[in-house]
């Protein structure tokens, strides 16, 4: 006779029931437990587009998908192949804002009403944390179907250190958020930090002219590292403190992420720095 289900089975049963019942109840974090960190250099089982125009964003933002056109009857073998592998649905808007390492989605949910006409996507490498955010967004949408709130936010499992250019065209983004990233304290682990000379070039590629990189951390050493590497990059200049304090997104970033709330409870410091995308110098 089988014994009672273990914790892993309970988590799986809970998530399966949540999907089948379509409940408006918020998902519970205890059923989505995972390690705090994931190795960005490991070969995770990830799905990603070979190039940005192959990405089907309609799965994450169905309210912003353009009306689908009926497929014509197939005439040739090429037509049959095209129908069996349809192109991604067209969108009425492009994704413009990315939260790298979005965690449990606090920033996404808070930004949704602040920029209701902008598509915001969270990218998270941990599978169960990604699933939690996706279920959280579904529940929020189901709670308020008439107002159509939270339709402009989504979450995808991705390793941005490897595949950011696979998702976004050159100059597509207006904002990139890097909130409370893993500090990787040991020097031999610094290569895994999400801000570096190489990665900053990828952020510059994806950001449009005047786009902003938002950074916040409670680790002063990491803050100095991010400032040093972004200031040294020719595509960025630091935003003044006056402009930074007037930015509505900074106020949200300081208070709405799970890590930010934890720092607040522990009465810790938060270090913020913003960097603007500059025009490329002439060749």
The encoded tokens of residue 275 equal: 């960097």
The encoded tokens of residue 41 equal: 């250099």
Q: Answer yes or no: are the C-beta atoms of 223 and 230 closer than 8 Å.
A: no
Q: Which residues are the active-site residues?
A: 182
**Cβ contacts of 122 within 8 Å, gap of 6 or more:** 98, 99, 102, 105, 107, 108, 133, 153, 154, 155, 156
């Amino acid at each position: 006779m089988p014994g009672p289900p273990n914790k892993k089975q309970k988590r799986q049963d809970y998530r399966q029931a949540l999907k089948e019942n379509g409940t408006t109840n918020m998902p519970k974090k205890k059923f989505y437990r995972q390690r705090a960190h994931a190795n960005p250099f490991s070969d995770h089982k990830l799905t990603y587009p070979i190039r940005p125009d192959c990405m089907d964003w309609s799965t994450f933002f169905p309210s912003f998908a353009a009306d689908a056109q009926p497929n014509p009857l197939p005439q040739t073998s090429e037509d049959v192949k095209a129908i069996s592998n349809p192109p991604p649905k067209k969108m009425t808007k492009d994704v413009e804002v990315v939260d790298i390492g979005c965690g449990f989605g606090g920033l996404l949910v808070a930004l949704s009403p602040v920029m209701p006409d902008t598509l915001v996507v969270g990218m998270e490498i941990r599978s169960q944390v990604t699933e939690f955010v996706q279920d959280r967004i579904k529940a929020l949408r189901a709670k308020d179907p008439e107002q159509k709130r939270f339709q402009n936010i989504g979450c995808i499992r991705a390793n941005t250190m490897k595949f950011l250019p696979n998702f976004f065209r050159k100059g597509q983004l207006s904002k990139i958020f890097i909130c409370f990233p893993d500090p990787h304290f040991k020097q031999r682990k610094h290569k895994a930090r999400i801000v570096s000379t190489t990665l900053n070039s990828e952020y510059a590629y994806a950001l449009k002219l005047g786009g902003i990189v938002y950074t916040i951390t409670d680790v002063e050493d990491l803050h100095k590292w991010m400032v040093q590497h972004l200031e040294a990059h020719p595509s960025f200049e630091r935003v003044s403190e006056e402009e930074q304090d007037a930015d509505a997104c900074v106020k949200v970033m300081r208070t709405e992420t799970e890590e930010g709330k934890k720092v607040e409870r522990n009465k810790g410091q938060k270090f913020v720095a913003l960097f603007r995308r500059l025009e490329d110098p002439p060749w």
